[in-house]
Amino acid sequence: MTAATRRTAGKIPFLLLISAPLLAACQHQDATDTVTGWWHNFEGGEIAKLRAPPPGENLHYPHVGRTPTQPPELPTPEARLSLTTQLEAQRNLAQRESAAQGALPVIPPPPKPAPTATTTNTEQSGMTMTTVGQPEPESPSAINPAPDLAATSTPHASAPAKKTPPSAPAAEAELPPVVAKSIPPTPPGQFPKIGDLPPPPPQFPGFDLPRDAIVSDPVRPDIDTSTPEGILIRFQPATDHVTGDPQGDYQHIVSLRGNRHLTILGFGAFMSADAALAPADQNREIALGLLRARVVARALIARGVPASAIILKAEAIGDGVRVTIND
């Protein structure tokens, strides 16, 4: 070992002893915080002082479950029940209107236009690029010289061809004329005069205007928008698979039944684009409602409800299955 190596080996423990307090003091800070602290200590003043402790540092933690201490202001139960009834009626009406409109029509794509033959002028398309040192190509007129007019002239000149008159353009649909009326100024202290009723909507061939175009409010169908009674058991869309775990609902139905009969009403599609009021769609959705009602009936029979005490029904438009207890 040389003398230089011995001197370097003797300095390593000394450097470790000096850097140990620095590392211990900065173990909770990263490089940025350490450099920032050095700079603040160099500046001095208020920025170099320690931060004041946060207020309430030594107090007990608050009980979050007891906040807020005052109950919030909510509508009365009667107002909330009225709002819930209105929302349910709007939902049921939307279901029936969606079914009345039927499935969306499938519009075929437009036909592709037939390719048209295009002719190009040889004189316009005969432009070429030449580099330096190459001879310029001969023009089309030099390759194909024009015929001599004197040699090709005939003694009898042909008569000029008759021009056909242009065909009249097809008539287009025209809007009714707009009549501009000047509104007389209203004198001070008087109400303006109310004009006449708006004219009826214009009729165009090939377009059917809705019947309620002139009516102020749309005509609503006379259907029952109330929510069906009974315990609701939800199903996955367009299937007879139950959503979630309905074991608690089944036990609740069995405990409330006693010796009375049960009516299980199964519904078909719920806000589906395929649901409509056509007979074929009605049959499909009613069959789905019967399958859903049968799934619930089997679950209740497995829990001791006799099959003779169960009545199965089905409707086309609704949500899931409703189980009611007959008095």
Residue 211 and residue 227 in contact, taking contact as beta carbons nearer than 8 Å: no
In this prediction, residues 82-96 reach a mean pLDDT of 84
Percent over 70 (pLDDT), the chain: 64
Task: Supply the pLDDT for residue 260.
Answer: 93
The residue ranking higher by pLDDT, 7 or 47, is: 47
pLDDT band at 95 (very low <50, low <70, confident <90, very high): confident
Q: What is the 3-state secondary structure (H, E, C) of the chain?
A: CCHHHHHHHHHHHHHHHHHHHHHHHCCCCCHHHHHHHHHHHHHCHHHHCCCCCCCCCCCCCCCHHHCCCCCCCCCCHHHHHHHHHHHHHHHHHHHHHHHHHCCCCCCCCCCCCCCCCCCCCCCCCCCCCCCCCCCCCCCHHHHCCCCCHHHHCCCCCCCCCCCCCCCCCCCCCCCCCCCCCCCCCCCCCCCCCCCCCCCCCCCCCCCCCCHHHCCCCCCCCCCCCCCCCCEEECECCCCCCECCCCHHHHHHHHHHHCCCCEEEEEEEECCCCCCCCCHHHHHHHHHHHHHHHHHHHHHHHCCCCCHHHEEEEEEEECCCEEEEECC
Higher pLDDT, 235 or 161: 235
pLDDT bucket at 231, cuts 50 / 70 / 90: very high
C-alpha span between 286 and 288 (Å, rounded): 5
Residue 279: phi and psi, rounded to 5, are -60, -40
Least confident range of 114-118, 249-253, 304-308: 114-118
What is the C-alpha to C-alpha distance for residues 285 and 278, in angstroms, rounded to an integer? 11
| Digit-coded pLDDT (tens) for 13-56 | 666 666 655 555 555 566 677 788 788 777 777 777 777 888 88
pLDDT value at 146 more than 70: no
pLDDT class of 323 with cuts at 50, 70, 90: very high
Q: pLDDT (tens digit, 9 = 90+) per residue, 53-85?
A: 888 888 888 777 777 777 777 777 887 888 888
Higher pLDDT, 109 or 99: 109
Q: To which residue do tokens 């299937």 refer?
A: 239
Mean residue pLDDT across the chain = 74
Is pLDDT at 126 greater than 50 in this prediction? Answer: no
* CB contact set of 301 (below 8 Å; sequence gap of 6+): 307, 310
CB 233 within 8 A of CB 280: no
Listed range (215-224, 236-245, 308-317) with the worst mean pLDDT: 215-224
What pLDDT digit, counting tens, does each position of 199-212 carry?
777 777 777 776 66
> What is the distance, to the nearest Å, from the Cα of residue 66 to the centroid of all Cα atoms in its chain?
40
Using the predicted structure, report yes or no on whether residue 268 has a pLDDT greater than 80: yes
What pLDDT is recorded for position 15? 64
What lies within 8 Å, CB to CB, of 243 at 6+ separation is 234, 235, 236
> For 131-146, what is the mean pLDDT?
52
